[in-house]
C-alpha cells in the first residue's frame, strides 16, 4: 500500500522524493516524502479516512487540502486538533484520529447517527432539565463527549514568543494578486511585508489552471516570484497567517511559534477566494472534495486523488480541474454541470475534445459510499431552484470534485469595517465600503452557480461540517423563530466550529433568505470576528510581562528570612521568619518596646516646586498649606471631585517654594496623574516630579530609635527640641545625604529617612549595625499594619472604599474650612448637610473569641448595618481590635455590635473611642 497513489514528477512541487519520511497513523506505519502534510502522505498511501465528525461521528476525509476545514483535525502526541492538511510529516510522528470510540474505522459513536431524527437543531435547549436534577447526570455525560482532541496534561511547555513588526504596506496573500500588489507598492517606494499562509509563494498559481496550457501558471509564478525576490523593499513571510485586524491597521500574524504584532500604514488584502460546498445527500463522504483540493493533491504533493472521478461543475474553473485530473491519469466519468448551458471557455472545449461526457443542467443529488468512502453518485436533472427530477442515473466513482462557486475571504476586511454585498447576477458576495488605508487586491471573476443546494428526503446534506448541520436544521431554526442570520447562528451553532463558517456562511445565507422570504443581500452573513485561523494557547500566552518592583533593600529582606508578598507590582516583606503569628507579634512588641526598622521605599514621593507650589497643594489636598512653615510636616488627605477619599500622605515643606509630598504605595501613580491633570486646567506656576523611585526610605521606629540614630547623624540634631514631631530635616546619615521626617503612622517615636535609592541598602546596614546593641530587628508590613491599627490610623483602600468621605471616617479635622477651594470641597459641603449613612468606628471584642476578618458583616437582627475593614489581635493591648463601618445609630462609644464571622456564629464587640493606643499621642511626640 505504500504510496500507491503517488504520481511521478513533475507533479508534487512541494515534496522531495529523495527523502522518505515514516510516521504512524492510528498505529500503522505510513511513508511519505519530506514536504508532505499528514493528509497528503495518507492520501498517497490510499488512506482517506482522517477523522470523525463532531455530532454524528460521520467519517470525514480531505475536503480543501488548505487547512480551511475541520475534517482534517487530528491528534498528535502532545497536541490536539492539528490540521492534517497543513501539518508537515516528520520522522516518527505519531498521529491518531479524534472523537471516536473504539477505532477510527469502527467508531461506536457513529451509532448516534441512527438517532439523528431525535436530535434536531437546538434539541439540547429543550431537553435534559427534567426531572429536577437530571441535568447533573446529563452534564457529566456531555462533558465527556464534548470536544474533539485530548489535551496532554503532562505536556511540557515550549517557548512561544511575540514580536512587534512594522511596515508601510502589508500585503496579505502571496498569490498572483498579492505578489503583483507587493511589486507595485515596492515600486512606489513603500516598505512592503508580503504574507503567505502556505509554505511557498504562488497561491492559486501553484495548483489551479486558468487555461489549457498546463505550464502557464508555472511560468507566471516564476516571473512574479523573481520580481518579488529582486525587490529589496519586499520582505516575505511564508507560513504566516494574518488572523485578525484591529484598530489602526494592527494585524496579528501567526508564524511558527511567534505572534507578530504588526502595525502597517496600509493593508492590501489579497487572500482570494474560498471554494464552496454543494449541498446534496452525503456530501461529506470521504472522496467528495473541492476541485481545488484535488488540484492541490496532484500538483503540490503528487498524489492521485482517485481513480475514477465525477466533477460537479457550476463554473468554468471546474473544467480546469477536469484537465488536471486527466493529466494525472484519473478517469473522468462525467462532468455534471449545474448550468443549463456550458460556456465556450477553452477549458470546456478541451475537456470535450478529450472525450469527457458533460451533463449540463444536472446535479449530484446524492453520494453513496462503500467502506466509508465514495463509491457512486446519483445524478439528476435540475428542474427548478434546488429541485431535481424524481429519477436519475448512478455513476460509479471514487472521487467527486465539487467546483460550483467561491466566497471571498472577507473576514479580515469585515473586521476592519468593510461590508459584504450580495450581487444576484453573479450569485456571489463582494467586499464593499472599505475603510481608509485598507485595499483589496485586484480580483478576478469567478462564476458562482446560484443555488447548488439540493435537499434530500433523508437529509444528510450538510451545510456545516463542523457541527453536522443539515439543510433542515437551518430551516427549522428559522421556523423556531430565529429568523435573523445572527440568531440562526446562535441557535444552531452554525459557523461556530473550527472552520468558522468559511463554507457554511454562503449556503446559510441562501437558506435563511429563502426560509424567511428575504433576499440574500438583506440576510447577509454573520459577524467574522478574530481570529480568522486557529490560535494556540501558546501563541496567546507567549512572551508575557509581569512587572515586579523591588526596593534597594530587597535582598537584605530575603537574607533576613522575610516572607515576601507582592503588593501591586512591589515586593514587600510581610514578616520575618516562618511562623507568621509569632513573627508579627514579636515585631509589634519590638517597635513598642525598643526599636525596629521598616522599609518604606515603596511609599510614593512627589516633589512640588515653584512659586505656586503652596497654592497648588492647597487645592489638591483638604488641609491648608499656605502658612505651613518650612521644616514641618502636615497630614495630607486627598478627595476627588465627588468628595471621596482617594489617597493620603504627608506634605513636607522643604523651602518656600519646595514641597515633598508622600502618597500611598498603590496610589502614587494615580495621584501624580491627577495632579498633572488638574494643573493642566489651573495653569499654576508649579513643577511636579514623581520621585518615588529616586529615594529609598527606612522608618526607624520605637522608643530607642533616637538613641540608635543619633550617632550616625551629621549636620543636624535629632533631639526633641531641635527636631520635634512633625518636623522634616535634611542632613547626612551614615555618610549618606538624607531627608528625615518625624511622623507617627505607627504611633511611636520614629524617623522616616529618605536617601538616594542606590544608598538604601547602605543606610539599612548602617542602622542595623548601630542598633545591634538595642536589639534592633526588621519589621514587616503586617506588623506595620497592626501597629497603625492600634493607633487608629486608616489605610486608604483598605478602610475606605469608592464611597468613603472624610465625615464617615471622622476626619473632619483634616479639612481646612477657610480655604476658597480644594478638589472635592463643594461636594463635601453638600454631603455635610445630609445625615451620615455610615461611620467608621473602632471596636474591641472579647480576646477569647474568634477574630473577625476584613469584610465580615455587622448585623442587627436580620439587617446588615456595616462591615469590618480591619481587625486583628493586638499584642500591645492583648485584645481584639478593629475598624468597621456601622450605622450612625450604633457609632457611639459603648454601643454593642454583632459581627457575623462565618454565617452561623456572631462575635459581640463594643464600639470604643479611638485611638486604641496612646490616646494622647505622647509616645510619637517623645
Interface residue list for other proteins (CB under 8 A): 161-166, 261, 263, 543, 545-552, 555, 570, 601, 609-611, 654-655, 657-658, 685, 687, 689, 691-695, 735-736, 756-759, 761-762, 765
Q: How far is the CB of 547 from other proteins (least distance, A)?
A: 5
Rounded to an integer, what distance in angstroms lies between the CA atom of residue 51 and that of residue 59? 6
Q: How far is the CB of 694 from other proteins (least distance, A)?
A: 4
Rounded to an integer, what distance in angstroms lies between the CA atom of residue 368 and that of residue 387? 19
Q: How far is the CB of 911 from other proteins (least distance, A)?
A: 41
Q: How far is the CB of 608 from other proteins (least distance, A)?
A: 10
Rounded to an integer, what distance in angstroms lies between the CA atom of residue 608 and that of residue 144? 63
Three-class SS of 236-274: EECCEEEEEEECCCEEEEEECCEEEEEEEEEEEECCCEE
Query: Which of residues 308 and 658 has its CB atom nearest to other proteins in the complex?
Result: 658
Query: Which of residues 21 and 759 has its CB atom nearest to other proteins in the complex?
Result: 759
The values of phi and psi at residue 230, to 5°, are -85, -10
Supply angle C-alpha 793, 794, 798, rounded to 5: 150
Q: How far is the CB of 243 from other proteins (least distance, A)?
A: 18
Segment (H or E) for 228 = helix 216-230
Query: Which of residues 603 and 883 has its CB atom nearest to other proteins in the complex?
Result: 603
CA torsion 6-69-295-18 (nearest 10°) is -30
Q: How far is the CB of 783 from other proteins (least distance, A)?
A: 22
Q: What is the DSSP letter of 632?
A: B
Of 233, 204, 244, 235, give the one whose Cα is nearest residue 220: 204
Query: Which of residues 229 and 685 has its CB atom nearest to other proteins in the complex?
Result: 685
Q: How far is the CB of 693 from other proteins (least distance, A)?
A: 4
Asked if residues 460 and 281 have their Cβ atoms less than 8 Å apart, the reply is yes
- The b-or-e profile of 470-486 (16+ CB within 10 A means b, else e) is bbbbbbbbbebebbebe
End-to-end CA, the chain: 96
Query: Which of residues 231 and 336 has its CB atom nearest to other proteins in the complex?
Result: 231
Segment (H or E) for 507 = helix 505-516
Asked if residues 723 and 733 have their Cβ atoms less than 8 Å apart, the reply is no
Query: Which of residues 23 and 571 has its CB atom nearest to other proteins in the complex?
Result: 571
Q: Can you tell me which residue has the cell 426560509?
A: 515
Asked if residues 786 and 580 have their Cβ atoms less than 8 Å apart, the reply is no
Of 343, 353, 344, 289, give the one whose Cα is nearest residue 321: 289
Asked if residues 389 and 380 have their Cβ atoms less than 8 Å apart, the reply is yes
Query: Which of residues 167 and 591 has its CB atom nearest to other proteins in the complex?
Result: 167
Query: Which of residues 135 and 716 has its CB atom nearest to other proteins in the complex?
Result: 716
Query: Which of residues 60 and 729 has its CB atom nearest to other proteins in the complex?
Result: 729
Q: How far is the CB of 576 from other proteins (least distance, A)?
A: 19
Of 356, 357, 375, 358, give the one whose Cα is nearest residue 367: 375
Rounded to an integer, what distance in angstroms lies between the CA atom of residue 573 and that of residue 764? 14
Task: Reduce the DSSP state of residue 557 to 3 states and report it.
Answer: helix
Query: Which of residues 87 and 601 has its CB atom nearest to other proteins in the complex?
Result: 601
Query: Which of residues 215 and 544 has its CB atom nearest to other proteins in the complex?
Result: 544
Asked if residues 598 and 701 have their Cβ atoms less than 8 Å apart, the reply is yes
Q: What residues contact residue 414 under an 8 Å CB cut-off, 6+ apart?
A: 420, 431, 527, 528
The values of phi and psi at residue 280, to 5°, are -150, 170
Rounded to an integer, what distance in angstroms lies between the CA atom of residue 623 and that of residue 630? 16
Q: How far is the CB of 564 from other proteins (least distance, A)?
A: 13
Q: How far is the CB of 545 from other proteins (least distance, A)?
A: 4
Rounded to an integer, what distance in angstroms lies between the CA atom of residue 630 and that of residue 660? 11
Asked if residues 71 and 94 have their Cβ atoms less than 8 Å apart, the reply is no
Q: How far is the CB of 691 from other proteins (least distance, A)?
A: 6
Supply angle C-alpha 596, 602, 607, rounded to 5: 115
Q: How far is the CB of 676 from other proteins (least distance, A)?
A: 12
Query: Which of residues 43 and 603 has its CB atom nearest to other proteins in the complex?
Result: 603
Q: How far is the CB of 266 from other proteins (least distance, A)?
A: 15
Q: How far is the CB of 692 from other proteins (least distance, A)?
A: 8
Rounded to an integer, what distance in angstroms lies between the CA atom of residue 660 and that of residue 690? 10
Q: How far is the CB of 664 from other proteins (least distance, A)?
A: 16
Query: Which of residues 514 and 552 has its CB atom nearest to other proteins in the complex?
Result: 552
Q: How far is the CB of 185 from other proteins (least distance, A)?
A: 17
Query: Which of residues 258 and 819 has its CB atom nearest to other proteins in the complex?
Result: 258
Complete DSSP assignment for 780-828: -HHHHHHHHHHTT---TTTT--TT--TTTTT-GGG--TT-S--TTHHHH
Rounded to an integer, what distance in angstroms lies between the CA atom of residue 798 and that of residue 792? 13
Query: Which of residues 141 and 166 has its CB atom nearest to other proteins in the complex?
Result: 166
Asked if residues 509 and 525 have their Cβ atoms less than 8 Å apart, the reply is yes
Q: How far is the CB of 219 from other proteins (least distance, A)?
A: 35
Q: How far is the CB of 566 from other proteins (least distance, A)?
A: 12
Burial classification of residue 888, based on how many CB atoms lie within 10 Å of its CB (0-12 exposed, 13-18 middle, 19 or more buried): middle
Query: Which of residues 17 and 165 has its CB atom nearest to other proteins in the complex?
Result: 165
User: What are the C-alpha distances in Å from 478 to residues 309, 496, 504?
Assistant: 37, 17, 16
Query: Which of residues 124 and 166 has its CB atom nearest to other proteins in the complex?
Result: 166
Rounded to an integer, what distance in angstroms lies between the CA atom of residue 64 and that of residue 66? 5
Query: Which of residues 16 and 772 has its CB atom nearest to other proteins in the complex?
Result: 772
Amino acid at each position: 500500500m505504500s504510496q500507491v497513489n503517488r504520481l511521478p514528477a513533475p507533479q508534487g512541487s512541494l515534496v522531495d522524493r529523495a527523502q522518505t519520511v515514516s510516521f504512524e497513523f492510528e498505529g500503522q506505519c505510513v511513508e511519505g516524502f519530506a514536504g508532505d502534510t499528514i493528509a497528503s502522505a495518507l492520501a498517497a498511501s490510499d488512506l482517506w479516512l482522517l477523522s470523525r465528525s463532531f455530532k454524528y461521528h460521520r467519517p470525514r476525509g480531505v475536503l480543501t487540502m488548505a487547512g480551511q476545514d475541520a475534517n482534517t483535525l487530528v491528534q498528535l502526541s502532545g497536541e490536539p486538533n492539528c490540521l492534517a492538511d497543513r501539518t508537515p510529516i516528520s520522522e516518527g510522528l505519531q498521529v491518531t484520529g479524534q472523537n471516536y470510540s473504539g477505532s477510527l474505522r469502527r467508531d461506536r459513536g457513529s451509532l448516534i447517527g441512527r438517532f439523528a431524527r431525535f436530535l434536531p437543531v437546538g434539541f439540547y435547549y429543550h431537553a435534559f432539565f427534567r426531572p429536577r436534577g437530571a441535568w447533573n447526570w446529563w452534564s457529566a455525560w456531555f462533558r465527556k463527549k464534548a470536544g474533539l482532541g485530548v489535551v496532554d496534561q503532562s505536556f511540557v511547555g515550549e517557548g512561544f514568543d511575540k514580536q512587534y513588526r512594522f511596515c508601510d504596506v502589508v500585503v496579505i496573500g502571496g498569490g498572483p494578486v498579492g505578489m503583483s500588489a507587493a511589486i507595485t507598492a515596492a515600486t512606489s517606494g513603500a516598505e512592503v511585508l508580503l504574507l503567505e499562509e502556505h509554505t511557498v509563494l504562488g497561491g492559486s498559481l501553484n495548483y489551479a489552471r486558468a487555461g489549457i496550457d498546463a505550464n502557464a501558471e508555472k511560468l507566471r509564478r516564476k516571473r512574479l516570484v523573481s520580481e518579488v525576490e529582486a525587490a529589496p523593499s519586499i520582505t516575505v513571510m511564508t507560513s504566516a497567517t494574518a488572523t485578525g485586524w484591529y484598530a489602526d491597521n494592527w494585524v496579528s500574524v501567526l508564524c511558527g511559534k511567534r505572534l507578530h504584532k504588526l502595525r502597517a500604514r496600509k493593508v492590501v488584502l489579497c487572500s482570494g477566494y474560498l471554494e464552496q460546498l454543494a449541498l446534496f445527500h452525503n456530501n461529506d463522504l470521504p472522496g467528495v472534495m473541492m476541485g481545488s483540493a484535488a488540484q492541490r493533491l496532484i500538483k503540490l504533493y503528487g498524489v492521485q486523488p482517485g481513480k475514477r472521478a465525477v466533477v460537479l461543475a457550476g463554473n468554468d474553473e471546474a473544467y480546469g480541474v477536469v484537465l488536471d485530473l486527466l493529466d494525472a491519469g484519473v478517469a473522468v466519468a462525467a462532468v455534471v454541470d449545474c448550468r443549463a448551458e456550458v460556456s465556450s471557455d477553452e477549458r470546456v472545449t478541451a475537456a470535450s475534445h478529450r472525450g469527457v461526457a458533460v451533463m449540463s443542467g444536472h446535479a449530484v443529488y446524492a453520494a453513496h459510499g462503500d467502506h466509508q468512502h465514495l463509491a457512486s453518485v446519483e445524478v439528476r436533472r435540475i428542474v427548478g431552484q434546488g429541485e431535481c427530477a424524481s429519477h436519475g442515473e448512478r455513476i460509479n466513482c471514487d472521487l467527486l470534485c465539487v467546483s460550483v462557486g467561491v466566497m471571498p475571504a472577507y473576514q479580515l476586511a469585515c473586521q476592519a469595517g468593510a461590508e459584504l454585498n450580495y450581487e444576484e447576477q453573479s450569485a456571489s458576495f463582494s467586499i464593499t465600503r472599505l475603510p481608509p488605508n485598507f485595499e483589496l487586491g485586484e480580483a478576478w471573476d469567478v462564476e458562482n452557480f446560484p443555488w447548488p443546494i439540493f435537499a434530500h428526503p433523508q437529509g444528510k446534506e450538510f451545510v456545516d461540517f463542523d457541527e453536522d448541520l443539515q439543510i433542515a436544521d437551518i430551516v427549522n431554526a428559522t421556523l423556531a423563530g430565529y429568523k435573523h442570520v445572527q440568531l440562526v447562528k446562535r441557535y444552531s451553532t452554525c459557523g461556530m466550529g473550527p472552520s468558522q463558517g468559511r463554507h457554511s456562511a454562503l449556503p446559510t445565507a441562501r437558506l435563511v433568505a429563502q426560509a424567511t422570504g428575504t433576499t440574500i443581500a438583506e440576510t447577509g452573513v454573520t459577524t467574522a470576528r478574530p481570529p480568522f485561523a486557529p490560535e494556540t494557547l501558546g501563541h496567546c500566552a507567549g512572551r508575557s510581562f509581569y512587572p515586579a518592583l523591588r526596593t534597594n533593600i530587597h535582598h537584605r529582606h530575603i537574607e533576613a528570612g522575610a516572607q515576601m508578598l507582592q503588593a501591586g507590582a512591589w515586593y514587600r516583606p510581610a514578616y520575618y521568619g516562618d511562623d507568621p503569628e509569632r513573627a508579627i507579634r514579636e515585631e509589634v512588641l519590638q517597635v513598642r518596646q525598643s526599636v525596629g526598622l521598616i522599609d518604606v521605599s515603596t511609599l510614593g514621593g512627589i516633589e512640588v516646586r515653584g512659586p505656586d507650589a503652596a497654592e497648588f497643594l492647597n487645592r489638591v489636598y483638604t488641609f491648608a498649606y499656605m502658612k505651613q512653615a518650612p521644616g514641618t510636616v502636615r497630614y495630607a488627605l486627598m478627595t476627588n471631585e465627588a468628595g471621596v477619599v482617594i489617597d493620603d500622605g504627608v506634605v513636607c515643606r522643604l523651602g518656600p517654594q519646595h514641597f515633598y509630598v508622600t502618597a500611598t504605595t498603590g496610589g502614587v501613580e494615580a495621584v501624580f496623574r491627577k495632579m498633572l491633570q488638574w494643573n493642566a486646567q489651573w495653569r499654576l506656576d508649579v513643577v511636579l516630579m514623581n520621585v518615588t523611585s529616586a529615594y529609598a526610605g527606612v522608618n526607624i521606629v520605637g522608643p530607642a530609635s533616637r538613641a540608635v540614630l543619633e550617632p550616625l547623624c551629621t549636620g543636624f540634631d535629632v533631639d526633641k527640641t531641635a527636631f520635634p514631631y512633625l518636623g522634616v530635616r535634611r542632613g547626612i546619615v551614615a555618610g549618606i545625604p538624607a531627608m528625615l521626617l518625624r511622623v507617627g503612622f505607627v504611633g511611636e517615636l520614629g524617623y522616616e529617612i529618605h536617601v538616594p535609592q542606590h544608598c538604601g541598602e547602605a543606610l539599612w546596614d548602617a542602622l542595623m549595625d548601630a542598633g545591634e546593641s538595642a536589639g534592633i530587628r526588621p519589621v514587616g508590613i503586617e506588623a506595620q499594619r497592626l501597629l497603625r491599627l492600634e493607633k487608629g490610623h486608616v489605610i486608604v483602600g483598605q478602610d475606605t472604599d469608592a464611597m468613603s468621605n472624610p465625615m464617615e471616617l471622622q476626619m473632619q479635622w483634616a479639612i481646612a474650612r477657610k480655604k476658597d477651594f480644594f478638589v472635592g470641597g463643594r461636594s463635601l459641603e453638600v454631603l455635610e448637610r445630609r445625615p451620615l449613612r455610615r461611620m467608621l468606628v473602632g471596636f474591641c471584642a472579647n480576646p477569647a473569641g474568634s477574630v473577625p476578618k476584613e469584610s465580615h458583616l455587622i448585623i442587627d437582627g436580620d439587617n446588615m448595618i456595616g462591615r469590618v475593614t480591619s481587625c486583628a489581635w493586638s499584642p500591645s493591648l492583648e485584645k481584639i481590635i478593629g475598624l468597621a463601618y456601622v450605622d450612625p445609630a450604633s457609632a457611639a462609644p459603648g454601643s454593642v455590635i454583632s459581627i457575623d464571622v462565618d454565617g452561623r456564629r456572631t462575635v459581640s464587640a463594643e464600639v470604643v473611642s479611638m485611638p486604641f493606643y496612646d490616646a494622647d499621642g505622647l509616645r510619637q511626640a517623645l
